[in-house]
């Protein structure tokens, strides 16, 4: 069955991110990067499927969204720095069009502003980020994420938590 999804592009981004994380000298930071970015990418795919959005772009945004934090160890302005890094990574990979790279990088650029509403891909990434945080530590929901998590639980039919 042909779904129209190019899993080779998703796999390519996964391999690129994995290679970048392998270079992170701090084992704890490297492990956190794998857990968080891979978890967000999976949540992006789930939400893109549910919302009828582009799964490949959502997965790529998820894998790359915190690339600046985990490769530099610095979370300051990570969304904006990450968007620039992702643009360079994706251009070098040559697997996405200029328009697709723009959409992915825009989602990354805005993903930290959880109170602002943006387009569908940005919202998928923001919600996937919140979902991964809450799944990783179900007993803790950051104050800035409470409203999004409440809406996500309703959308996904989650009754507890």
Would you place residue 4 in the very low, low, confident or very high pLDDT band (cuts 50, 70, 90)?
low
Q: Tell me, what's the pLDDT at 1?
A: 43
Contacts of 13 (CB under 8 A, 6+ apart): 59, 60, 63, 64, 90, 93, 95
CATH of the domain spanning 7-156, picked from 1.10.3210.10, 3.40.640.10, 3.40.50.300, 2.40.160.10: 1.10.3210.10
Return mean pLDDT, the chain.
94
Give pTM, 2 decimals.
0.94
* Exposure class string for 47-76: b at 16+ Cβ within 10 A, else e: bbeeeebbbbbbbbbbbbbbbbbbbeeeee
Tokens standing for 10? Answer: 């998703």
Rounded to whole angstroms, the Cα distance separating 128 from 47 reads 7
């Amino acid at each position: 069955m042909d779904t129209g999804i190019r899993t080779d592009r998703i796999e390519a981004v996964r391999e690129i991110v994995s290679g970048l994380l392998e270079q992170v000298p701090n084992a704890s930071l490297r492990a956190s990067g794998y857990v968080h970015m891979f978890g967000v990418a999976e949540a992006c795919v789930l939400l893109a499927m549910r919302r009828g959005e582009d799964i490949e772009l959502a997965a790529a945004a998820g894998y790359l969204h915190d690339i600046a934090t985990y490769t530099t160890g610095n979370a300051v302005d990570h969304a904006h720095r990450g968007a620039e890094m992702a643009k360079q990574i994706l251009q070098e990979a040559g697997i996405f069009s200029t328009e697709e790279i723009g959409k992915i990088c825009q989602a990354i650029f805005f993903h930290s502003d959880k109170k602002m509403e943006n387009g569908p891909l940005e919202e998928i990434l923001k919600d996937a980020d919140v979902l991964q945080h809450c799944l990783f530590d179900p007993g803790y929901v950051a104050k800035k994420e409470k409203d999004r998590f409440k809406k996500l639980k309703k959308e996904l039919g989650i009754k507890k938590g």
